[in-house]
Structure formats: structure tokens, C-alpha cells
Amino acid sequence: MTDTHDAAHSGRPAIGHSTVDGIRVVTLSGEIDHTVRDRLGRALLPPDDAARPRTVIDLSGVTFMDSSGINALINAHHATVDADGWLRLAGPRESVVRIMRLVGIDRLIPCYPDLRQALGN
């Protein structure tokens, strides 16, 4: 997994990966904007060899997200559903929740208050 601790405090975006009980967890932190659009898009797509991919995106460390981040989430959702899998969001801060509600992504992708709940449901 990528160390995201320092990045979250500096505002620099960071992307970490881990697996919990066979579920891929992508941990994002810092400010998610156009500067990380391509790297984020690649990180959120399910692996090519994944059958029925299950992914949780941990947003608890994200301090800001613009339309680039929203578009990456939507693209990841469509790619995961097309692969007969599922995508969940976990722990977004209120500033990110407001943006997600404004564009309606909270009705497209299930969102949970924290990582534990997203993994458990």
C-alpha cells in the first residue's frame, strides 16, 4: 500500500491500494483535482483480470474534490458494473458529500459512513 499519511496533511493527492477479505480498497487523500485526473482514473478502474471486481474507495482523507474526481468515480462505477462487480464509497468528508449530492453521484454509487461499514455490507 502507498503511504498516504504525509500527503493528506500537505494537501497533495495520494492514492493507496490494499485488499481486505478479497475486496480491493483504494484509499484517496488530499485534494483530488485535474492534476491527478489520469493517475486517478487508472487507479480506480478494475484490474483487467478481475472477475466480478469488488472495490471500496476510501474517501476519508480527501479534503477537496472537483469534477475530475467525480468523473473518475463515475467512470470507475461504469467499468466495475460492466465487469459484473460493485463499487462503494466510504467515509467522505462533508465538503465532498456536498459535491456528490449536488451532482447526484450519491444516488449512483452506494456511500457508507466509514470503511468498516462499506466492507461489511
HSE value, Cβ hemisphere, 13 Å, CA-based, for 99: 18
Measured CA distances, 118 to 29, 33, 56, 102 (Å): 17, 24, 7, 22
Cell 447526484 -> residue: 104
pLDDT of residue 10: 54
Determine the pLDDT at residue 51: 86
Is the pTM higher than 0.85? The answer reads: yes
> How far is Cα 119 from Cα 89, in angstroms, rounded to an integer?
10
What is the structure's pLDDT at 2?
Answer: 41
pLDDT by residue for the chain (121 residues), tens only, comes to 344 444 444 567 899 999 999 999 999 999 999 999 999 999 999 988 878 999 999 999 999 999 999 999 999 999 999 999 999 999 999 999 999 999 999 999 999 999 999 999 6
